[in-house]
A = this chain, B = another copy of it.
Amino acid sequence: MNKAIIRLKNSLNRGTQSLFRCDFHTSDAINQHLEEKVILTKDRYPNMKRGKFAELQGSHIQHFINLLGPTRVLTDPNDVEPYNIDWIKVVRGYSGIVLKPKTTQEVSEILKFCNSERLAVCTQGGNTGLVGGSVPVFDEVILSMSLMNKVIDINPLSGTLICEAGCVLENLDSALEEHNLMMPLDLGAKGSCHIGGNISTNAGGLRLIRYGSLHGSVLGVEAVLANGDVMDVLNVLKKDNTGYHLRHLFIGSEGTLGVVTKASIHCPPRPKALNLAFLGTDSFKNVLNILQLAKSCLSEILSSCEMIDDPSISAVIRNLGVNSPIGQFPFYVLIETSGSHTAHDEEKLNAFLEKAMAESYVLDGTVTNEPSRMQVLWQLRERIAEALLKDGPVYKYDVSLPVEHFYGIVPLLQEKLRGTSAEIVTGYGHIGDGNVHLNITSKFYDQDLVHDVIEPFVFKWVADHNGSISAEHGIGFKKTEFLHYSKKPGAIALMKQMKTLMDPNGILNPYKVLPED
């Protein structure tokens, strides 16, 4: 050994608790502070036609009771109702039944039966999806995965987790904590969403810049196909090149190609140190400079890079009484680091800050590693959606753009909407991933403005700039007609062929993801 051996600093702050972050986006173009009863989807969208599926009969119900027993087949309308309505209370089906399987075998029997009887099925995880994918459009049988919630194995050595699809994300993260591991994804809905739902929507969230997407983290899945066949590719291996990589068919296909029943996940070591900086700057160009400098100086410890514009922060300050620790600037950037060594991480962060200030990228800022102060700072980012809603209905779009175009649409849309009911346009989001949340605050809900002016403009601009019209939330029920803005006809045609191959009777989550012919 020709090197000095230095002790790990005692100050190592093991198991720093992770912060609760609510990255709540209400749905696109929907005002969500109404109290009234949710309109049935079939009435809200009168042009939607129910597919040629069977209607639920007493004999079907009896078959399900024989299979699951009476307590795991819900048919009382009061019991079924919550499963018919989505989290943001915008879409509502009128299914008469909820099934709660406990095993893969039961899921298989259910789908086999539904397939042969031509009963349509809507699989539901934590029901936190934001595009209407998790509830029936008409009277589809609801398959709730909530009782398939067992952790099957945690292997601390290889950093792998195997669990059933109905496990709640936050519970998995807690189970991993004692092994000094963590879930590679984190989102505001973590207290309710299931890992099966996360996989089916390819959920992104706040840590993607550091831990990558689920296509990288999911090592294997077990899924049941429409005909009841069990597809077992529940691998825990990091390297396995034996044939087509089928698990990716189920990541992001929103329950239309199969029901995910189990998953194995690669789980990184839990960070021992967390730091958060909240910075003010004068231009979007300097936001980009900050991002680039952060990537270079913070590199492997950069775990979040969020941008917020002044109208967004102002709404939080004005409407929620939260204080900003720094003066007013056109733009703000939140930088989070997570790493394995407190002193090193602080030193890197300080070097970054010094440089950013010397170059005048950053004009003012504050930095902390105290959990309570971090929580306060995160509020400035997390409570924007809530704050904006206090000013009136908000039309919201969750889009991805090449990072240089991240903010470009905001001033253009502002210009376009001048003199209308919806004059205030704001933008914030995961700039590290090019994922911007575009918000338009309106005086009242104006359906024509949304459909005739805002949506065509936003989706076309995003498409013209090689962006994605749905960065994280998926297509679900609500965006099928816009899919063509982000996917070419050839790709959509292949998707349809795959759907036909894997679900020839179309029983799995019909009316979702793919547009009508």
Contact = CB atoms under 8 A, between A and B. Distances in A.
A365 B2 CA distance: 10
A241 B202 contact: yes
| Number of copies of this protein chain within its complex | 2
A300 interface: yes
Interface stretch (A31-39, A167-175, A245-253, A381-389): A245-253
Contacts of A434: 158, 237-239
Interface in A284-309: 288, 291-292, 295-301
A490 B234 CA distance: 13
Nearest to A252: B245
A233 B466 CA distance: 11
A311 interface: no
A239 B433 contact: yes
Interface in A406-450: 430, 433-435
A472 B241 contact: yes
Contacts of A344: 341, 344, 347-348
Chain A's interface size range is 35 or more
A300 B301 contact: yes
A343 B236 CA distance: 35
Interface stretch (A74-82, A89-97, A480-488): A480-488
Contacts of A215: 215-216, 245, 248
A411 B236 CA distance: 24
B466 A236 contact: yes
Interface stretch (A45-53, A59-67, A140-148, A492-500): A492-500
Contacts of A240: 400, 468, 470-471, 486
Nearest to A346: B3
A458 interface: no
A404 to B, nearest CB: 6
Q: Which among A244, A483, A498 has the highest number of chain B CB atoms within 10 Å?
A: A244
A348 B341 contact: yes
B243 A483 contact: yes
A255 interface: no
B296 A487 contact: no
B475 A235 contact: no
Interface stretch (A18-26, A188-196, A313-321, A349-357): A349-357
A435 B240 CA distance: 9
Contact of A490 (B232, B235, B339): B232
Contact of A248 (B158, B248, B299): B248
A392 interface: no
Contact of A241 (B252, B297, B341, B367): B252
Given A3-B350, A213-B239, 12 more contacts: A3-B346, A5-B351, A5-B354, A8-B351, A155-B402, A155-B403, A159-B295, A208-B239, A237-B401, A241-B473, A244-B249, A246-B491
15 contacts: A1-B366, A5-B354, A158-B403, A158-B404, A180-B296, A202-B241, A204-B239, A204-B241, A216-B217, A231-B490, A237-B467, A239-B471, A243-B486, A245-B251, A300-B301
Closest 9 CB pairs of A and B: A216-B216, A248-B248, A299-B340, A240-B468, A242-B486, A239-B471, A8-B351, A344-B344, A300-B300
Interface of A: 1-8, 155-159, 180, 201-202, 204, 208-209, 212-213, 215-217, 225, 229-233, 235-246, 248-249, 251-253, 257, 269, 271, 288, 291-292, 295-301, 339-341, 344, 346-348, 350-351, 353-355, 365-368, 400-404, 430, 433-435, 466-475, 479, 483, 486-488, 490-492, 494-495, 497-498, 501-502, 513-514
